[in-house]
Amino acid sequence: MNTQKKVLIVDDDMDFLIQLETQLRAAGFAVISADSRHKAEELLQSVRPDLVVLDLMMEQNDAGFALAYHIKKIDSAIPVILVTAVASETRIDFDAATDEERSWIKADAFLAKPIRFEQLMREINRLIPE
């Protein structure tokens, strides 16, 4: 029986996508990836990931927010980790620590790029424990 957890990564930065995909596979995850919100939405019609890591700004500046909302509408139990460089670029701070923030962000965690893989793994292990 295959007990590999499935992680969907969505990011339009191909270098980040490939690097994260490689690291997660090495850590024992089954990885599915998409380079746009629309490709991710297509994948979600046939695949149910155990967790989603997605970028905030893709085709549109709010593509990550819209995709997180779409994922939670499909299955509110799928954990979503939003990653973005928007905080360092705009000095706007986002977080998903309170119920109020999660009510509009629709993410279970928020990480600022550049992320450390250990930091991401801590969040993954918190959101989908073995």
Assigned domain for 127 exists: no
How is residue 83 annotated by DSSP?
Answer: E
Assigned domain for 29 exists: yes
Assigned domain for 55 exists: yes
Beta-carbon contacts of 33 under 8 Å, excluding residues fewer than 6 positions away, are 8, 9, 10, 11, 17, 21
Using the structure block, give the residue that is written with the tokens 């923030």: 101
Q: Are 54 and 64 in contact (CB under 8 A)?
A: yes
Assigned domain for 39 exists: yes
- CATH number, domain containing residue 17: 3.40.50.2300
Q: Which residue, 59, 45, 46, is CA-closest to 10? A: 59
Whether residue 126 is predicted with pLDDT greater than 90 in this model: the reply is yes
Assigned domain for 128 exists: no
Assigned domain for 121 exists: no
Assigned domain for 86 exists: yes
Say how many domains are in the chain. Answer: 1
Assigned domain for 37 exists: yes
Interval 1-39: pLDDT, tens: 357 999 999 999 999 999 999 999 999 999 999 999 999
Q: Which domain holds residue 21?
A: 6-116
In order of 51, 84, 100, the CA distances from 94 in angstroms are: 20, 10, 12
Interval 68-124: pLDDT, tens: 998 999 999 999 999 887 654 444 444 445 555 444 456 888 888 888 999 999 999
